[in-house]
Amino acid sequence: MKKIGKRRCNISSGREKVLSCLDFGKGSRSVKAEFAFWYETLDRWYGEGLPKGKGLPEYAVGHNIRSNFNTNMPGEGIIDSDVHKYFSFDFNSFSIPNNFSPMYEKVTIEENDEFIIFKDDYGITQKRLKDEQGGIRSSMPMYLDFPVKTRRDFALYKERFDPDFSKRVKKGWIESTDDYREKGFLIWLCGRSNGFFWFLRELMGLENFLMTIHDDPGLINEMLDFILDYTISFWEYILDNTRVDVVLINEDMAFKGGPLLSPDSFKEFLRPRYKKLTGFLKGHGIKNIFIDSDGDMTGLIPLLMESGVNGLLPAEITGNMDMVKIAKDYPDLRIAGGINKMKLFDNKNEIDKELEKVPFLLKRGGYVPFVDHSVPPLISWKNFVYYRNTLNKMVDSIIKS
Amino acid sequence: MKGKAPEDILLSLQEGLIEIGNRFERDECFTPELMYGAEIVRTSIEPLKPLLKGVSVATKGKVVVGTVYGDIHNIGKDLVKLLLEGDGFEVVDLGENVDPAKFVEAVKSDGAKLVGLSALLTMSFGAISNAVKAINDAGLKDKVKIMVGGAPVTELVREKSGADFYGKDAFSAVKYAREVYGY
């Protein structure tokens, strides 16, 4: 290892610690990290005692504030530093831009004091509510229309994807990866719509996509083949030029009642593409291939694992998602998240009960505990401090053991 | 179904939808199949409607649905609506970001015995409670049942808001509607 100064050495150890944890290493069994916070959450906490260091920029209103693990497109995301510092989180992340947009021009369709309707660069028409100050409220938008309804729409849509990948990655970004790695940042490859399910949902809208599985499976296959080939070509362009620690594939393919598509549909449509994609990634030396999906993924975990995915992030506690059972059933599965945010609203007893599973999971390894998605503003600073301090003690204890 | 009375065709379609719902509950079919089945039933009912005028099975009853104030998400609510309509209920859809007063107004004017409140955001829990309170404050507590559902909604949210029923998925909303209307 290159001889570097004390500060660099400390930060660098953060990346090594998280990689060791994800590798089920004995050296570092876990790390301290969170996923993300809603803007309103941090705004509330500053008023309840979170020391304001860097604070948040004015344009943070309406944004999801990233923490250690939620790293999307650089330049779009705002990263917290004050909670990070307060709880001595272990590492920072750097993600390589991963732009799968068809690059439509953004157009505002309607705007008033209450909401804005616009077509985004993905060709999706969406509505977002404003807050009392006129800023866009953080939270998911309402989707009104999607770019692909017919086979002909898709033929036109895919023409927007050309093989000039340089315009999909900010200039100098790939080159700066080595520098960030040396500074101890975890290097990610992730971004919007890089999952097969997610891509089709953004093309057609969820309802239309799910109906097309039965109405026109040939079109589904055609679209999936297109995104698979384009993803491999695009990522080859990136991975030929730098090394990546973790790939995060965004899917959101479940709700609290279970998967949004059947295991049979997964086997027919997604499994062959996943195998090809994960085989390609492993060929580039990538050991950590995570899937980001809200909802109860229990039924799809074995299929994902046999397809080459080996991690859940953030693992959401909903429906029948039992982290201890999942950890036992799939001992090689990396798990990040797994703390039910709904249990942090209430009292210390509820928080303690929610954290009872953590020591087992930490001991089993490959586990980074944090709130199972963005921390909502219903959680008080007092409760979060209690939860996080308790959790930090558990992480410290497993590291020392 | 050649030669069958329209009401018999309607009942067969509804039985089919319930069977899909039962399979959905047993994890034998999933959301695409549930949606597809509901869409088949909904579109099959359209040409039957003129033939069903004056027939008692034409509608099982009215249900008011809407996404609560401050929340503009519609997928869950629309799926509930699709299934309810498929099962023969008349649905008054108030849309999204619905002010509590609009729920009250709709229940009063449409005479519905059931109202469904939908939410996607954890930040909407207060809005659910506000809508329930508005309905109760308007003196409708004994006249209408309130069901709640949506991604972050749980039995605890139902309990704290004072609603009558928590639907863990869209099909459970249909089952509850049947119960409320005595089917």
DSSP A160-209: T--S-GGGGS-TTHHHHHHHHHHTTPEEEEE-TT-SHHHHHHHHH-HHHH
Given an 8 Å threshold on Cβ–Cβ distance, is A207 in contact with B75? yes
The candidate with the shortest Cα–Cα distance to A255, out of A199, A297, A301, is A297
3-state class (DSSP) for residue A312: strand
* pLDDT score, position A338: 97
3-state class (DSSP) for residue A14: helix
B76-81 contacts at long range (C-beta below 8 A, 24 or more positions apart):
B76/B118, B76/B120, B76/B149, B76/B150, B76/B151, B76/B170, B77/B116, B77/B118, B77/B150, B78/A207, B79/A207, B79/B31, B79/B34, B79/B35, B79/B38, B79/B170, B80/B116, B80/B118, B80/B149, B80/B167, B80/B170, B80/B173, B80/B174
Is the minimum CB–CB distance between B99 and chain A shorter than 8 Å? no
Given an 8 Å threshold on Cβ–Cβ distance, is B122 in contact with A259? no
Contact yes or no for B33/B24 (Cβ under 8 A)? yes
Tokens standing for residue A223? 């679209």
* pLDDT score, position A5: 36
Given an 8 Å threshold on Cβ–Cβ distance, is B120 in contact with A140? yes
Give dist(CA A95, CA A71) in Å, integer: 6
- Minimum-distance CB partner of B75 among A206, A214, A295: A206
What is the pTM for the complete model shown?
Answer: 0.87
The candidate with the shortest Cα–Cα distance to B142, out of B180, B109, B88, is B180
Given an 8 Å threshold on Cβ–Cβ distance, is B31 in contact with A260? yes
Give the chain B residue whose CA is nearest to the CA of A266: B30
| Chain B residue numbers touching A257 (CB-CB < 8 A) | 168-169
* pLDDT score, position B1: 64
| Chain A residue numbers touching B96 (CB-CB < 8 A) | 142
Give dist(CA A55, CA A43) in Å, integer: 9
Given an 8 Å threshold on Cβ–Cβ distance, is B31 in contact with A139? no
From chain A, which residues contact B within 8 Å (Cβ)? Answer: 38, 40, 115, 127-129, 139-142, 206-207, 210-211, 213-214, 255-262, 265, 294-295, 299, 318, 341-342, 376-378
Please tell me the distance in Å from A265's CA to the nearest CA on chain B: 10
Average per-residue pLDDT for chain B:
90
- Minimum-distance CB partner of A377 among B73, B123, B156: B123
Instruction: Work out the angle between the directed axes of helices B170-180 and B75-86 (0-180°, nearest 10).
Output: 50
Give dist(CA A161, CA B20) in Å, integer: 40
Given an 8 Å threshold on Cβ–Cβ distance, is A342 in contact with B35? no
Given an 8 Å threshold on Cβ–Cβ distance, is B122 in contact with A140? no
State yes or no: pLDDT of B165 exceeds 60: yes
C-alpha count within 13 angstroms, C-beta hemisphere, residue A401: 14
Please tell me the distance in Å from B17's CA to the nearest CA on chain A: 16
C-alpha count within 13 angstroms, C-beta hemisphere, residue A127: 17
| Chain A residue numbers touching B36 (CB-CB < 8 A) | 210-211, 214
Tokens standing for residue A64? 């999801």
Please tell me the distance in Å from B30's CA to the nearest CA on chain A: 5
Give dist(CA B121, CA B157) in Å, integer: 12
Amino acid at the residue B28: E
| Chain B residue numbers touching A129 (CB-CB < 8 A) | 70, 72, 97
CA B130 from chain centre, in angstroms, equals 20
Given an 8 Å threshold on Cβ–Cβ distance, is B36 in contact with A211? yes
- Residues, chain A, total? 401
- Minimum-distance CB partner of B32 among A142, A210, A256: A210
Given an 8 Å threshold on Cβ–Cβ distance, is B120 in contact with A342? no
| Residue ranges of E strands in A42-200 | 64-66, 78-79, 93-96, 107-111, 115-119, 125-129, 142-145, 186-190
How many of the other CB atoms lie within 10 Å of CB of A47?
Answer: 10
Please tell me the distance in Å from A255's CA to the nearest CA on chain B: 7
Q: Which of B39, B43, B67, B72 to mutate to test the interface with A (most CBs of A within 10 A)?
A: B72
The pLDDT-based confidence of B58 (bands split at 50, 70, 90) is low
| Chain B residue numbers touching A295 (CB-CB < 8 A) | 151
For the residues B88-100, what does the mean pLDDT come to?
93
How many of the other CB atoms lie within 10 Å of CB of A113?
Answer: 7
Task: Give this complex's ipTM.
Answer: 0.78
Given an 8 Å threshold on Cβ–Cβ distance, is A260 in contact with B35? no
* pLDDT score, position A141: 82
Q: What is the mean pLDDT of each run of 10 residues along chain A (401 residues)?
A: 37 79 84 93 97 89 82 67 95 84 94 92 91 72 92 95 87 85 89 85 92 94 96 94 93 90 96 98 96 93 98 91 96 96 92 97 96 93 98 89 70
* pLDDT score, position A3: 38
Size of interface A-B (CB pairs under 8 A): 75
Tokens standing for residue A401? 């053991």
The pLDDT-based confidence of B118 (bands split at 50, 70, 90) is very high
Number of H helices, E strands in chain A: 15, 16
Is the minimum CB–CB distance between B32 and chain A shorter than 8 Å? yes
Given an 8 Å threshold on Cβ–Cβ distance, is A262 in contact with B73? no
How many of the other CB atoms lie within 10 Å of CB of A76?
Answer: 12
Query: Please, what is the Cα angle at A277 between A271 and A281, to 5 degrees?
Result: 140
Tokens standing for residue A158? 């895919």
Given an 8 Å threshold on Cβ–Cβ distance, is A376 in contact with B33? no
* pLDDT score, position A216: 94
